[in-house]
A = this chain, B = another copy of it.
Amino acid sequence: MSDPRFYPPRNFAALPPEHSDYARSRVVILPVPYDSTASGWVGSREGPAAIIEASGNMELYDIGIGAEPYLVGIHTLPEVAPHTGDPQAMVERVEQIAGELIDGGKFVVTLGGEHTMAVGAARAHARRYPGPSTAPTEVGALRTGLSVLAFDAHADLRDSYLDSAYNHACTLRRILEVAPVVQVGLRSAEREEHDYIRSKTLPFHSPQEFRRLGPDAIAGLLSDSVYITIDLDAFDPSQLSALGTPGPGGLLWDEVSELLETVARQKRIVGFDVTELCPPLGPRANAQLAAKLTYRLIGLALRE
């Protein structure tokens, strides 16, 4: 219905059918309201709905990058139902759905929910970009196959946590099994995780290291095809406090934005996720930041 007396529909960016029908859309938003493995404060299952709601309160022209990302078409799927029996089954469900969408020619944007869901999304992409090696330390080999750029305050490198290998604290450990990972934002880790990073010389960077190296150096560590996974706790809590595990000393909007612009100029972004927004724990402006981040990244990934 395009009757001007009605609000536009409550999909991502509140787009009319000509820019949001499945068939005409290059981008598909996949909302995954799942947070069953959360060990701290809970509520990220409300993240996708809050991001989508906030995205309707946003200009369609992004003056910061001089683009109208919606013109490629953005279709919003219904929310994926939770499998409450087992997080592994849930990860596999996300992987299966994302894979079907990629095979259908779509650019997939997954909205969490907890960061664990990124394992399913990243796997679906990695299996379609096989490289000669996924050993994370052989950085020279990264020119072929997919690499992953991860924003995160935590190492997420535990092999298992609270009885599950698919706990949110194991996310990057699981993703490392299928693709090399370059991480930015690190400021929380257990000693074993820190030892693991050093022994494998993983390219995981604190905000201070990132500021020292600069965005070009980080982008230089990635292969040509890049999947981006964003745990929003990489941001400083001053800008984003609606998080289950916030921690001071994080990245700022301008820094993240500049790194994403650099990567977009130099590489091909093939998909991404935005996770861990926990709406009850912070002001609504946090959902707005997540919505704008999602929209800008669509614009950067798919601009001509």
* A contacts, CB < 8 Å to B: 1, 4-10, 33, 35-37, 39-43, 45-46, 49, 53, 57-61, 63-64, 68, 77-89, 93, 96-97, 154, 161-164, 166-167, 186-191, 193-194, 206, 236-239, 241-243, 245-249, 253-254, 257, 280-286, 288-289, 292-293
Contacts and interface: CB of A to CB of B under 8 A. Distances in A.
A39 B191 contact: no
Contact of A57 (B206, B237, B245, B293): B245
Per DSSP, chain A at the interface is: loop
Contact of A246 (B37, B53, B284): B284
Contact of A36 (B4, B37, B283, B286): B37
Contacts of A191: 60-61, 68
Contact of A238 (B43, B239, B245): B239
B81 A248 contact: no
A89 B41 contact: no
Contacts of A238: 236, 238-239
19 contacts: A5-B80, A7-B80, A10-B10, A40-B57, A43-B280, A60-B191, A61-B191, A63-B189, A84-B163, A85-B162, A85-B166, A236-B238, A236-B239, A237-B285, A237-B289, A238-B238, A247-B292, A281-B284, A282-B285
Given A41-B57, A81-B5, A163-B84, A288 B248 contact: yes
Name the 10 nearest CB pairs between A and B, nearest first. Answer: A246-B285, A241-B285, A36-B36, A85-B164, A241-B283, A238-B238, A237-B285, A7-B79, A61-B191, A248-B253
Copies of this chain, count: 6
Given A85-B87, A186-B63, A188-B59, A283 B80 contact: no
